[in-house]
């Protein structure tokens, strides 16, 4: 008889313990992995950019033809086709774009040096950085600080170090389009130099 | 005499009913007292400290703003409470959010809280000291004498203040609210304000701001949302707004924990009330059945049926009244204990007041319900015929079912059940209701998760383990990402910006994602460049549905968007919308430091270590996980509540089994004695007896869990919508399905087995001796 009484008590206890254990819901405590070692924080070769190489031919890399269409200035209807290089930096940028149009403001306009620029978000590899001597209107470059530049003029002897990310397929009238957009946007409430409306055209 | 005799014979039943009704009264009165006292205390303190009909936290606003506000036709008046925003560090931990430093100049009469969680006299705040919210003590493990370092400027050392005590912050004191207030002396406040003002724009880390409390005219016909819209459109306040909350929103945040507690206790009280009625009905019918012979004898001796019935009514009515009163008295003490224990969650002392105007009518209604129920269930006494006639009608209908040697215990149990189905209906009903309630509570526990993942996901815009927002170009994000990768490989990453916008003139937070796949879409489609997502809250506030067009504006620019769908984000009680980066780019500047990088880690368990490392080693960033300071408290309370409810349920089962088993055994003594005389061991009889309970309870439990599976999610989802949580889906789970399905039948079985111990003493000889007497 004692056996049955014990059994009843045992069953009740099992129910309660089972319940409490399930209800406690405590996940196991994770062991502190400590702090990352110095070579993770400052790995060799990340302090300075990789040795710059003179651009041989950016076009040698595969090109994503007409990857993006761009309207220069607000209220403009002309779509400019932009081809992007199939490199890591360009692909990261394309990751931010979609088939919906993105209104992209640029705050830096340099008439003399022939570019409009804006710092962009994201982490970009500098592995494909190169030294470019002569720049043609319509070329897009990403600089080490994350600044994206569109050159709207030919700049011979520019001698820049940057990652080529793309180029305007058609450049006739590009200089004038950027200059007109800049002029018409003077006095913008945000202080924007030139607006671009960017739409990704590829999946 | 009859009453005394009845009380003696039925003391076991009476004690059981008393215990159940006492639990009911204690649970219900505690729920009501905590809810009403909490609401009164916090609302009263908010009004006393001058919280507006809605209050706007601003930074950098001109002094003319107040006059501008008071010219709005529906504004009665506006008050400005100056404050400083600054990041802070306590015991080596940096806060995720800025703190707000309040000026203790006596203009706002704050109350103070002692270390024991009781209200204390107002102290003189000395320069160099700071008073904090009690909720901060539990979050940062900070105690009196510790130092808090406030970062105001890059060019100056942080200002260090010593914690001197706690004050009751009725606006932001709750552990549910991440931003915390610090009350400091006028001398320190002025010095810190000067330091911020003297810092260059590039160096300034802190900023001066204010709470602007805006009061609506009493005769204003505008609804709260229309009033806010009018203020927003008639003044420049939107240009300086950091965030704003209506009084009801802050009250909801402040009372969230108490309301969860009170709500669950109230729901359990309803279940207990049903259980009480079921058990009382069962006990009365069994007792009347057992006493049928005595009642018939009394009637034949000239006693009226109404008189005999009065004895039962007086006995059980008196017991129920006594239990209700004792439960009420006990609930006040439990409420005080709970209020004291919750100071670190509520951030202020909840003053427990006896809500007589509400509790007394509730208890009277319950007493009246019991009285009616007692009258109904004892009506059968009136119909019991005198002795001779009764003997003709007495007798039970035995059902013959096969008995097999190998399964004798089970077969005997089944035969008894088939013969006396009515006697077990109450047990089945009790099991069904308990299983239903435990299953619903278990569903909530499953949804909540071991670390509060359910709440995290419901309140966050999109799932993530770690979020890092850089505030300037000098933040080495590549290095930070290497550190995160070292802690755990990153599975996914996306970016989120939370910006203030207006939708059809009403202010909301826009959650902007660069990858809209991460929104928790409930209905419709994810948004694109021409459309937005809205929450259930926004949909009901603005009367919008999928496909409607809205005007969304920010920073002086406006665009027309289509509502593409409903999504889940309870942040700000659901007052937010979802946008794509493309959509937001049409009205807002996407190039600033507004983006928070969200990381989903392969091993999310290391997120707290990664966060602590980043907070310790990098400046100019805000690092956070998917959690917030008050979450641990909610998770703990919820888990503790589930455990306590299981314990109370176990006590209910114990009482129900005690009452049912006692009566059944008493009525079956003779039969059991015969079984024993036929050579059946007491052990087998006990097992057979307990199996009857197991069979009935299993059927009841299956029904309860079935109902929970069918309607539980919808019921909880309906309740959760008031917190801005638009969707609740759990389905089959260990805590909500398996545990109650096992625990309820096993507890009934175990207790029935234990109570059947008296079968050991049954013998044919003792039965004969009793009848001889």
* pTM reported for the whole predicted model: 0.69
The minimum CA-CA distance between A90 and chain B, rounded to whole Å, is: 16
CB B207 within 8 A of CB B152: no
DSSP string computed for B424-454: HHHHHHHHHHHHHHHHHHHHHHHHH-TTSHH
Same domain, B510 and B433: no
Tokens in use for B756? 């059947």
Per-residue DSSP letter, B757:
G
Bridge partners, residue B550, by sequence: B561
Angle formed by the axes of helices B292-300 and B305-341, nearest 10°? 140
Average pLDDT for A35-42:
85
Q: Are B456 and B576 contacting, i.e. CB atoms less than 8 angstroms apart?
A: no
- Which of B403-407, B457-461, B496-500 has the highest average model confidence (pLDDT)? B496-500
Shortest CA distance to B651 belongs to which of B735, B751, B755, B753? B751
pLDDT score for B75: 94
Task: Write the pLDDT tens digit of every residue in B135-185.
Answer: 887 777 788 999 999 988 878 888 999 999 999 999 888 877 778 899 999
Q: Which residues pair with A109 in a beta bridge?
A: A116
Contact B743 A12 (CB under 8 A): no
Task: Give the per-residue pLDDT at B4.
Answer: 65
Domain stop point among B625, B644, B664: B625
Same domain, B619 and B640: no
Shortest CA gap B708–chain A (Å): 18
Asked if B133 and B107 sit in the same domain, the reply is: yes
Which stretches within B420-548 are classed as H helix?
A: 421-448, 453-459, 477-487, 536-542
- Domain A63-200 CATH (choose: 2.40.170.20, 2.60.40.420, 2.40.100.20, 3.30.565.10): 2.40.100.20
- Partner-chain contact A1 B757, CB within 8 Å: yes
H/E stretch holding B523 = strand B521-524
- CB of B637 within 8 A of CB of B261? yes
> Could you tell me the two tokens for B201?
């724009």
B687 and B557 co-located in one domain: no
User: From the CA of A122, how many Å to the nearest CA of chain B?
Assistant: 9
B319 domain-assigned: no
Confidence band, pLDDT 50/70/90 cuts, at residue A59:
very low
Looking at the fold, whether B484 and B594 belong to one and the same domain comes out as: yes
Same domain, yes or no, for B599 and B512?
yes
**Do the chains contact at B613 and A30, CB–CB below 8 Å?**
no
Q: Which tens digit of pLDDT belongs to each residue from B504-551?
A: 877 788 999 999 999 989 899 999 999 999 998 899 888 899 999 999
What residues contact residue B745 under an 8 Å CB cut-off, 6+ apart?
A: B431, B694, B697, B698, B701
Q: Given a cut of 70, is residue B661 above it in pLDDT?
A: yes
Question: B8-11 long-range contacts, Cβ below 8 Å, gap at least 24?
Answer: B10/B287, B10/B315
Closest CA to B398 of B422, B415, B423: B415
User: In angstroms, what CA-CA distances link B449 with A25, A27, B430, B569, B636?
Assistant: 7, 9, 28, 18, 11
The pairing of beta strand B241-246 with beta strand B54-59 = antiparallel
Q: How far is B75 from chain A (nearest CA, A)?
A: 30
Q: Are B280 and B316 in contact (CB under 8 A)?
A: yes
Q: B428 and B471, same structural domain?
A: no
Higher pLDDT, A168 or A60: A168
By the 8 A CB rule, do B752 and B744 touch?
no
Scanning A67-86 for CB atoms below 8 A from B yields none
Q: Where are chain A's structural domains?
A: 63-200
* Inter-chain touch B742–A104, beta carbons under 8 Å: no
Whether B129 shows a pLDDT value over 60: the answer reads yes
B742 → chain A, closest CA residue: A15
Look-up of token digits 């009704």: B21
Q: What chain A residue is nearest to B740 in terms of C-alpha separation?
A: A19
| Region of residue B185 (left: phi > 0; alpha: psi -120 to 50; beta: else) | beta
Residues near B237 by Cβ (< 8 Å), separated by ≥ 6? B56, B58, B61, B65, B68, B69, B212, B231
Q: How far apart are CA A94 and CA A69, in angstroms?
A: 12
Cα(B269)–Cα(A62) distance, integer angstroms: 71
pLDDT at A53: 45
Average pLDDT over residues B710-731: 76
The predicted complex's ipTM stands at: 0.75
pLDDT digits (tens, 9 = 90+) for B636-648: 777 887 888 888 8
Task: Choose the final residue of a domain: B593, B625, B657.
Answer: B625
Interface mutation vs chain B, best among A12, A120, A124, most B CBs within 10 Å: A12
Q: What is the mean pLDDT of residues A30-56?
A: 66
- Of B221, B253, B285, which one is at a domain's C-terminal end? B253
Alpha-carbon distance B221 to nearest alpha carbon in chain A (angstroms): 36
A42 and B479 within 8 Å at the Cβ level: the answer is yes
| Best to test chain A binding among B557, B559, B591 (most A CBs inside 10 Å) | B591
- B743 close to B472: Cβ distance less than 8 angstroms: no
Q: What is the pLDDT of residue A48?
A: 44
Phi and psi (nearest 5°) for A85? Answer: -75, 150
pLDDT above 90 covers a percentage of chain B that reads: 32
pLDDT of residue B568: 86
Measured in whole angstroms, the distance separating CA B87 from the mean position of its chain's CA atoms is 31
B645 in the same domain as B613 = no
In a domain, residue B266? The reply is no
CB neighbour list of residue B597: distance below 8 Å, 6 or more residues apart: B467, B468, B469, B470, B477, B493, B495
* Contact status of B643 with chain A (Cβ, < 8 Å): yes
Chain CA centroid to CA B232, Å: 34
Residue span of the structural domain in which B482 resides? 461-625
Contact with chain B for residue A4, Cβ under 8 A:
yes
Residue B345 has pLDDT above 90, yes or no: no
Q: Using one digit for the tens of pLDDT, what is the confidence trace for B676-707?
A: 777 777 778 888 888 888 998 999 999 999 99
Out of B478, B483, B687, the one facing A36 most closely (by C-beta) is B483
Residue B427 shares a structural domain with residue B491: no
Question: Which residues of chain B lie closer than 8 angstroms to A105, CB-CB?
Answer: 589-591
Any idea what the Cα angle at residue B555 is, between residues B553 and B561, rounded to 5°?
Answer: 20
Provide the 8-state DSSP code for B155. Answer: T
Contact A33 B609 (CB under 8 A): yes
Among the partner residues A41, A102, A118, nearest to B581 by beta-carbon distance: A102
> Are residues B570 and B686 both part of a single domain?
no
Query: How close does chain B come to A58, measured CA to CA in Å?
Result: 25
CA angle B426, B432, B433 (to 5 degrees): 95
Q: Using CB atoms within 10 A of its CB, is residue B548 exposed (0-12), middle (13-18) or buried (19+)? A: middle
In a domain, B113, yes or no: yes
Residues B696 and B676 reside in one and the same domain = yes
**B732 is a domain residue:** yes
For B609, the closest of A32, A98, A103 (CB atoms) is A32
CA pair distance B595, B275, nearest whole angstrom: 54
Interchain contact B486–A (C-beta under 8 A): yes
Q: Are the beta carbons of B528 and A3 separated by less than 8 Å?
A: no
Contact B83, B210 (CB under 8 A): yes
**Residue B84 pLDDT greater than 90, yes or no:** yes
**pLDDT band, very low/low/confident/very high, at A78 (cuts 50, 70, 90):** very high
Residues in chain A: 203
Is residue B681 included in any domain, yes or no?
Answer: yes
Q: What does B36-62 look like in DSSP terms, one character per residue?
A: HHHHHHHHHHHHHHT--SEEEEEES--
Q: Which residues of A touch B484 (CB under 8 A)?
A: none
Verify that B609 and B661 share a domain, yes or no: no
Nearest 5°: phi and psi at B397?
Answer: -90, 105
Any domain includes B533: yes
As for how many domains chain B has, the answer is 3
Collect all residues of chain B within an 8 Å Cβ-Cβ radius of residue A190: 555, 589
Domain presence at residue B24: no
Reported as a single tens digit per residue, the pLDDT across B12-29 is: 788 888 998 999 999 999
**CB contact residues (below 8 A), chain A span 140-159, against chain B:** 145-146
Is B591 in Cβ contact with A107 (below 8 Å)?
yes
Interface contact B475, partner A, CB < 8 A: no
In a domain, B317, yes or no: no
Nearest to A103 by CA among B643, B675, B528, B589: B589
Q: Is A116 or B767 the better-scoring residue by pLDDT?
A: A116
Does the pLDDT at position B232 exceed 50? Answer: yes
């Amino acid at each position: 008889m004692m056996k049955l009484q014990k059994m009843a008590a045992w069953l009740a206890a099992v129910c309660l313990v089972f319940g409490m254990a399930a209800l406690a819901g405590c996940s196991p405590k994770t062991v502190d992995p400590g702090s990352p070692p110095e070579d993770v924080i400052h790995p060799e070769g990340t302090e300075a950019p990789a040795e710059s190489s003179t651009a041989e031919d950016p076009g040698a890399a595969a090109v994503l033809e007409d990857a993006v269409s761009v309207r220069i200035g607000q209220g403009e209807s002309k779509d400019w086709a932009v081809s992007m290089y199939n490199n890591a930096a360009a692909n990261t940028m394309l990751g931010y774009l979609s088939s919906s149009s993105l209104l992209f403001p640029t705050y830096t306009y340099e008439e003399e040096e022939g570019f409009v620029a804006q710092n962009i978000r994201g982490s970009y590899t500098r592995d494909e950085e190169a030294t470019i001597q002569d720049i043609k209107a319509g070329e897009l470059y990403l600089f080490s600080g994350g600044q994206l530049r569109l050159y709207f003029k030919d700049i011979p002897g520019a001698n820049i170090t940057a990652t080529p990310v793309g180029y305007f397929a058609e450049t006739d009238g590009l200089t004038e389009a950027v200059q007109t957009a800049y002029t018409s946007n003077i006095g913008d409430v945000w202080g924007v130099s030139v607006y671009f409306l960017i739409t990704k055209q590829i999946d | 005499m009859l009453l005394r005799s009845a009380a003696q014979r039925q003391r076991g039943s009476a004690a059981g009913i008393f215990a159940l009704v006492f639990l009911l009264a204690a649970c219900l009165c505690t729920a009501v007292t905590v809810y009403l006292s909490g609401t009164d205390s916090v609302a009263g303190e908010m009004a006393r400290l001058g919280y507006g009909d809605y209050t706007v936290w601003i930074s950098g606003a001109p002094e003319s703003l107040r006059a501008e506000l008071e010219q709005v036709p529906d504004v009665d008046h506006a008050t400005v409470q100056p404050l400083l925003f600054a990041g802070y560090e306590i015991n080596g931990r940096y806060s995720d959010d800025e703190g707000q430093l309040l000026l203790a100049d006596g203009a706002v009469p704050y109350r103070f809280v002692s270390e024991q969680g009781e209200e204390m006299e107002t102290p003189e705040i000395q320069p160099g000291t700071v008073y904090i919210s009690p909720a901060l003590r539990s979050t940062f493990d900070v105690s009196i004498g510790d130092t808090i370092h406030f970062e105001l400027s890059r060019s100056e050392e942080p200002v260090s203040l010593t914690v001197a005590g706690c004050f009751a912050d009725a606006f932001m004191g709750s552990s549910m609210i991440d931003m915390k207030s610090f009350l400091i002396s006028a001398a320190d406040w002025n010095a810190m304000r000067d330091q911020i003002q003297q810092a260059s724009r590039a160096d300034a880390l802190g900023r001066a701001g204010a709470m602007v409390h805006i009061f609506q005219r009493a005769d204003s016909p505008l609804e709260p949302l229309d009033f806010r819209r009018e203020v927003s459109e008639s003044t420049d306040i939107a240009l300086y707004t950091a965030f704003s909350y209506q009084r009801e929103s802050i009250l909801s945040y402040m009372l969230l924990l108490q309301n969860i507690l009170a709500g669950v206790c109230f729901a359990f009280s309803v279940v207990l009330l049903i259980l009480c009625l079921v058990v009382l009905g069962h006990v009365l019918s069994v007792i009347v059945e057992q006493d049928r012979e005595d009642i018939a004898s009394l009637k034949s001796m000239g006693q009226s049926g109404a008189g005999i019935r009065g004895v039962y009514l007086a006995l059980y009515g008196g017991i129920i009244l006594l239990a209700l009163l004792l439960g009420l008295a006990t609930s006040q003490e439990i409420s005080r204990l709970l209020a004291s224990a919750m100071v670190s969650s509520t951030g202020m002392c909840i003053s427990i007041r006896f809500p007589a105007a509400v509790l007394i009518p509730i208890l009277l209604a319950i007493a009246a319900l019991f009285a009616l129920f007692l009258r109904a269930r004892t009506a059968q006494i009136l119909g019991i015929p005198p002795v001779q006639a009764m003997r003709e009608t007495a007798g039970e209908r035995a059902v013959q079912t096969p008995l097999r040697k190998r399964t004798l215990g089970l077969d005997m149990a089944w035969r008894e059940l088939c013969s006396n189905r009515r006697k077990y209906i109450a047990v089945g009903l009790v099991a069904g209701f308990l299983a239903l309630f435990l299953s619903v509570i278990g569903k909530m526990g499953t949804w909540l998760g071991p670390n509060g993942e359910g709440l995290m996901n419901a309140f966050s815009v999109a799932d993530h383990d770690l979020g890092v927002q850089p505030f300037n170009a000098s933040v080495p994000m590549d290095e930070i990402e290497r550190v995160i990768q070292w802690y755990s490989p990153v599975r996914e990453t996306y970016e989120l910006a939370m910006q203030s916008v207006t939708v059809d003139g009403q202010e909301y937070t826009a959650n902007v994602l660069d990858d809209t796949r991460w929104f928790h879409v409930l209905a419709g489609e994810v948004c694109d460049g021409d459309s937005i997502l809205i929450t259930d809250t926004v949909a009901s506030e603005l009367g919008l549905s999928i496909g409607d067009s809205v005007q969304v504006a920010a920073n002086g620019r406006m665009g027309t968007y289509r509502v593409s769908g409903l999504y889940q984000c309870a942040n700000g009680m659901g007052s937010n919308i979802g946008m794509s980066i493309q959509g937001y780019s049409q009205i807002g500047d996407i190039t600033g430091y507004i983006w928070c990088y969200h990381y989903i880690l392969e091993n999310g368990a290391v997120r707290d270590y990664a966060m602590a490392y980043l907070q310790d080693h990098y400046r100019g960033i805000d690092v956070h996980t998917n959690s917030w300071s008050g979450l641990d408290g909610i998770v703990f309370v919820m888990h503790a509540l589930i455990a306590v409810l299981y314990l109370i349920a176990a006590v209910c089962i114990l009482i129900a089994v005690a009452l049912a088993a006692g009566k059944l055994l008493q009525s079956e003594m003779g039969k059991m004695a015969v079984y024993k005389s036929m050579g059946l061991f007491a052990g087998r009889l006990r097992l057979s007896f307990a199996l009857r309970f197991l069979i009935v309870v299993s059927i009841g439990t299956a029904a309860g869990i079935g109902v929970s599976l069918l309607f539980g999610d919808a019921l909880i989802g309906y309740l959760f919508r008031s917190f801005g949580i638009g969707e609740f889906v759990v389905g089959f789970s260990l805590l909500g399905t398996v545990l109650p399905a096992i625990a309820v039948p096993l507890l009934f079985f175990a207790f029935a087995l234990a109570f059947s111990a008296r079968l050991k003493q049954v013998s044919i000889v003792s039965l004969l001796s009793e009848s001889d007497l």
